[in-house]
Chain A
């Protein structure tokens, strides 16, 4: 099999991979937004719970 044919076969595999990568990026961006909410919740908890009974 020539190099071009090998590359084309690899490219077909990557086409299938592309959809997974797009989904991965979308999920990572969504996680970043959720992380901001967690950061706020932890900051709030830190201030409120600093004096509670152990």
Chain B
């Protein structure tokens, strides 16, 4: 008794957990991105300020050697700092995209199991009439699963 429903609910719970982990990984990777972008914008401003110092208003002095800017310690530092943050940004962006791909796969599994459970509940509806609340509770779980899938589809 209840073996099949228990198996379905275990599977749904496991698929949900996989999706939830992906969503967590997406948030973990994507949340710091705006902070890194702000830092990168700050380094660009610093590099701009050094450039402005040597080329005021964009008016390049005659015979000006660009390497003077590249070798300026302030420019060098801002450039190196930018590179370091950009590396972290790129890595996290990649992690976000990978988590989105994994989420798509996990959502397919959750969706397939939800469809199977839905079909099973429809088949058993009459047999379960004597069991108080069974059908509404099963239908509520199916509706919740579909709502979760819809909400995750907005991410992936």
Taking Cβ atoms with an 8 Å cutoff, the residues of A that contact B are 2-4, 7-8, 11, 14, 18, 21-22, 24-25, 27-32, 34-35, 37-42, 44-46, 48-54
Known: A11-B41, A45-B140. A31 touches B151 (CB 8 A): yes
Secondary structure call for the B interface? helix
* A2-B66, A4-B51, A52-B134 known; A46-B30 Cβ under 8 A: no
Within 8 A of A (CB), among B23-59: 23-24, 26-27, 30-31, 33-34, 37, 40-41, 44, 47-48, 51
For A7, the closest partner residue in chain B by CB is B44
B interface residues (Cβ-Cβ under 8 A, vs A) = 1-6, 9, 12-13, 16, 19-20, 23-24, 26-27, 30-31, 33-34, 37, 40-41, 44, 47-48, 51, 66, 70, 79, 82, 96, 124, 127-128, 131, 133-134, 137-138, 140-141, 143-145, 147-148, 151-152, 154-155
Would A38 and B31 count as touching, CB distance under 8 A?
Answer: no
Residues in A whose Cβ lies below 8 Å from that of B133: 48
